């Protein structure tokens, strides 16, 4: 009997000890990357009314927070300059917890659907080009760490996620987001500092999947009752609200530099400007939730894909909405992918060329966020046109002073008043006018004597070949509003 009492007492003391120890979210752990040279948030749970002292290896300061009645606590800690020197952090409410191998560097969120989620090793029947070479070369990129937030649905916002930080190496590279990792490669190589990737994404999700209950209620007609959400979609990944609650909410206290985003396929077919408006709303929401100001948001145009009809334009209209969103969202940039699908990939929703996608996202960040102006980062886009008899003359923006070809320009179509588009010949053209020579692209078709509208790769799957001086492809566009 006495032995049983002693065992019971020991168990109670152990339970009390465990309850007393600081509990950290999984996101704060060994191998984490902290945003450098700033004030970052660290948080967790402990017994109500207790003081939690936080000490760090890079300075002699002690940061203290007192837990509330719910046991939550949060402190803000000044971080050192970026370096590859391992750091440590100790949390103490009477019993110490220490995390190690912490680095100070640049932290970016990798958000969106499956083309962001797609790992370096690819999906089944969806390979990533160059996978084995990346495994072989993984050791070249020191200090690149990532954490994958589990894809979880929840009707209410979750505060924690079962995850752990991993350092890129031959054994770990395969599970990292390919787009995110190739982005990190360039940032790491150019800035020579650690990079942390927080991968909070889910394949198949719509933009509405990430909006809060308040924003869905105020700006959409999406149902918010649990059963209506379930009944409203054949596939769970299309559901509104629940992925943001379960998969994104756990990271919102983390201090990050910015967000890269690849999503849109599941919103193909949305009417009017709905997608561009809701994407802008999502970016505004995330910026408010992170509370870090107008952090950069760089996103990816959906790749060419047949969407059951190569020559239809529902996919092209979603790309048009993405371009419109890039003009609405401050401190943002859009990557064009019109050249990043092979002709045989028209039924492949996950094109293999992920490295250029990540690289182009990094070019935007290096130029617009880190101020390296010599890294040209923008794709050319339509500026204006002038009709001259049976010819149409097009001007482009962001060509960096040149285009990649004068002849054999593919992807243009032209239409007259009948609104029937015909393949067009397009050539580089020097047009005299006003005492100077005006550089244009001249477009014409023998089937259209009186052109009124031009389109470029404005189909679900149509690959053009016109690029600017940076080797970046022309954004698909149309001059009509039909």
Q: What is the DSSP string of 349-360?
A: SS-S--HHHHHH
Q: Indicate if the pLDDT at residue 16 is higher than 60.
A: no
The conformational region for residue 163 under phi > 0 = left, psi -120 to 50 = alpha, else beta, is beta
Mean pLDDT of 58-77: 96
- Over residues 449-478, the pLDDT tens digits come to 999 999 999 999 999 999 999 999 999 999
- Over residues 247-285, the pLDDT tens digits come to 999 999 999 999 999 999 999 999 999 999 999 999 999
Mean pLDDT of 56-81: 96
Q: How far is 201 from 177, CA to CA, in rounded Å? A: 10
Q: How many residues does the chain have?
A: 482
Q: How far is 78 from 17, CA to CA, in rounded Å? A: 30
Q: How far is 396 from 373, CA to CA, in rounded Å? A: 20
- β-pairing verdict for 62-66 and 297-300: unpaired
| Dihedral angle sign, alpha carbons of residues 200, 203, 208, 212 | negative
Listed in sequence order, the residues at least 6 apart from 8 whose beta carbon sits closer than 8 Å to its beta carbon are none
Q: How far is 302 from 268, CA to CA, in rounded Å? A: 10
How high is the pLDDT of residue 20? 56
Mean pLDDT of 196-207: 98
- β-pairing verdict for 72-78 and 96-112: unpaired
- Which tokens belong to 103? 């680095």
**Distance from CA of residue 453 to its chain's centroid?**
33
- Over residues 398-442, the pLDDT tens digits come to 999 999 999 999 999 999 999 999 999 999 998 776 555 678 999
**Distance from CA of residue 306 to its chain's centroid?**
23
Mean pLDDT of 358-363: 98
- Over residues 110-139, the pLDDT tens digits come to 999 999 999 999 999 999 999 999 999 999
How high is the pLDDT of residue 439? 86
Model confidence band, residue 2 (pLDDT cutoffs 50, 70, 90): very low
How high is the pLDDT of residue 9? 36
Q: How far is 19 from 456, CA to CA, in rounded Å? A: 63
Q: How far is 59 from 78, CA to CA, in rounded Å? A: 9
Q: How far is 394 from 441, CA to CA, in rounded Å? A: 5
Model confidence band, residue 5 (pLDDT cutoffs 50, 70, 90): very low
CB distance 269 to 313 below 8 Å: no
Mean pLDDT of 194-220: 98
What is this structure's pTM?
A: 0.94
What integer best gives the mean pLDDT of the chain? 94
Nearest to 256 by CA among 447, 33, 101: 33
Mean pLDDT of 77-94: 97
Listed in sequence order, the residues at least 6 apart from 411 whose beta carbon sits closer than 8 Å to its beta carbon are 426, 456, 457, 462, 463, 464, 465, 466, 474, 476
- Over residues 158-183, the pLDDT tens digits come to 999 999 999 999 999 999 999 999 99
Q: In the chain, what are the helix, strand and coil shares in percent, each to the nearest 5?
A: 25, 30, 45
- Over residues 387-408, the pLDDT tens digits come to 999 999 999 999 999 999 999 9
Model confidence band, residue 1 (pLDDT cutoffs 50, 70, 90): very low
* Cβ neighbour number for residue 78 with a 10 Å cutoff: 13
How high is the pLDDT of residue 435? 56
- β-pairing verdict for 62-66 and 477-478: unpaired
The conformational region for residue 84 under phi > 0 = left, psi -120 to 50 = alpha, else beta, is alpha
């Amino acid at each position: 009997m006495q032995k049983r009492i002693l065992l019971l007492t020991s168990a109670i003391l152990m339970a009390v000890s465990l309850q007393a120890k600081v509990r950290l979210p999984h996101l704060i752990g060994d191998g984490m990357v902290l945003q450098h040279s700033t004030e970052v948030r660290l948080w967790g749970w402990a017994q109500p009314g207790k003081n939690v002292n936080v000490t760090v290896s890079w300075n002699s300061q002690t940061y203290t927070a007192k837990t509330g009645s719910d046991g939550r606590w949060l402190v803000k800690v000044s971080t050192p300059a970026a370096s590859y020197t391992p750091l440590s952090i100790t949390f103490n409410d009477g019993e110490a917890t220490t995390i190690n191998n912490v680095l100070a560097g640049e932290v970016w969120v990798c958000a969106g659907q499956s083309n962001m989620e797609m790992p370096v090793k690819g999906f089944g029947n969806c390979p990533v080009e160059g996978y084995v070479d990346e495994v072989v070369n993984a050791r070249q990129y020191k200090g690149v760490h990532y954490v994958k937030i589990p894809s979880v649905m929840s009707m209410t916002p979750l505060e924690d996620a079962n995850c752990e930080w991993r350092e890129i190496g031959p054994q770990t590279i395969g599970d990292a987001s390919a787009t995110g990792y190739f982005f990190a490669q360039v940032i790491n190589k150019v800035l020579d500092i650690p990079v942390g990737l927080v991968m909070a994404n889910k394949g198949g999700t719509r933009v509405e999947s990430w909006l809060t209950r308040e924003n869905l209620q105020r700006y959409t007609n999406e149902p918010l009752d649990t059963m209506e959400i379930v009944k409203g979609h054949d596939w769970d990944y299309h559901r509104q609200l629940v992925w943001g609650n379960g998969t994104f909410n756990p990271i919102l206290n983390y201090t990050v530099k910015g967000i890269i985003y690849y999503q849109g396929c599941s919103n193909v077919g949305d009417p009017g400007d709905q997608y561009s408006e809701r994407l802008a709303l999502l970016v505004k929401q995330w910026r408010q939730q992170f509370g870090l100001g107008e952090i950069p948001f760089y996103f990816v145009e959906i790749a060419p894909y047949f969407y059951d009809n190569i020559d239809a334009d529902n996919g092209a209209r979603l790309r048009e909405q993405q371009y419109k969103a890039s003009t609405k969202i401050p401190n943002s940039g859009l990557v064009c992918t019109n050249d990043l699908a092979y002709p045989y990939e028209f039924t492949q929703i996950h094109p293999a060329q992920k490295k250029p996608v990540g690289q182009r996202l990094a070019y935007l960040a290096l130029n617009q966020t880190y101020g390296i102006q010599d890294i040209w980062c923008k794709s050319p886009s339509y500026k204006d046109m002038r009709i001259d008899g049976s010819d149409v003359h097009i001007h482009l923006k962001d060509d960096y002073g040149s285009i990649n070809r004068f002849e054999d320009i593919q992807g243009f179509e032209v239409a007259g008043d009948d609104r029937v588009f015909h393949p067009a010949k397009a050539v580089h053209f020097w047009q005299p006018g006003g005492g100077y020579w005006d550089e244009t692209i001249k477009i014409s078709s023998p089937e259209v004597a009186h052109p009124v509208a031009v389109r470029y790769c404005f189909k679900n799957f149509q690959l053009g070949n016109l690029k600017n001086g940076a080797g970046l492809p022309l954004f698909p566009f149309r001059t009509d509003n039909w």
